[in-house]
Amino acid sequence: IVMTQSPATLSLSPGDTATLSCRAGQFVGNKLAWYHQKPGQAPRLLIYGASTRATGVPATISGSGSGTEFTLTISRLQSEDFAVYYCQQYNEWPLTFGGGTKVEIK
Amino acid sequence: VQLLESGGGLVQPGGSLRLSCAASGITFTNYGMAWVRQAPGKGLEWVSEISGSGETAYYLDSVKGRFTISRDNSKNTVYLQLNGLRAEDTAVYFCAKDLRMGMFFDIWGQGTMVTVSS
């Protein structure tokens, strides 16, 4: 299943709200996870089941959507939020990731 | 909870490497374990996953027949044998713990770099 993320880059200021999109090429239900990754680090799980926050993830990060269209929203951007974000479907093998959205400081 | 990869390095095209990932702080046999790679400057690509018992494994089409995933539950370690390496296999290889099998990854290692070049 091809996962398409948009936009490729989002330039925002601290305190802004980021809205990231992920589209699945086929139906994946709610079997969608989000990760973020900072340079030189491993990815970190943020959201699973399309909208359930992982342990320790702040309420400023929320996920929504089902079927083929999904959104990750990050409110009140802080310095630690500037990173690359990936979606991943786990509805069928092979598991597939989107190409990523980079959230950078404007 | 920690995952520690090792075994990466520089290898010539057609060569082989074996990557290892040692887990601590988890009941290892309860979880599927996966390898996810990231080519320089690129995104994440799932490569392979093995079930907690080691009986079931899945592979990315482009590595089938060249890579083999295995695990030793007595050592809390998962392996990825890489044979017939190609330049396009150059990447950081991350070990990741699945919530169960075929789901999402809640724990990641720091990665080990594999460079395929003559």
The percentage of residues in chain B with a pLDDT greater than 70, rounded to a whole number, is 100
How far does A52 lie from chain B, in Å, by closest CA?
12
Span A69-79, average pLDDT:
97
Q: Which residues contact B41 (CB under 8 A, 6 or more apart)?
A: none
The pLDDT tens digits of the residues spanning B55-107 come to 999 999 999 999 999 999 999 999 999 999 999 999 999 999 998 888 999 99
Closest CA to B92 of B54, B55, B39: B39
pLDDT value at position B101? Answer: 82
Q: Is the pLDDT of residue A10 over 90?
A: yes
Whether the CB of A100 is below 8 Å from some CB of chain B: the reply is: yes
- pLDDT of B102 reads 86
Half-sphere exposure of B85 (CA within 13 A, CB side): 23
Reported as a single tens digit per residue, the pLDDT across B54-66 is 999 999 999 999 9
Q: What is the pLDDT of residue A64?
A: 98
Q: What is residue B77's predicted lDDT score, i.e. its pLDDT?
A: 98
Give pLDDT tens digits for B20-60: 999 999 999 999 999 999 999 999 999 999 999 999 999 99
Of A42, A90, A100, the CB nearest to B104: A90
pLDDT at A90: 97
Q: Of the candidates A45, A94, A100, which has its C-beta nearest B43's C-beta?
A: A100
Q: How far is B46 from chain A (nearest CA, A)?
A: 6
The pLDDT tens digits of the residues spanning A31-66 come to 999 999 999 999 999 999 999 999 999 999 999 999
- Select from B115, B62, B107, B58 the least CA-distant residue to A44: B107
| H or E element at residue A53 | strand A52-53
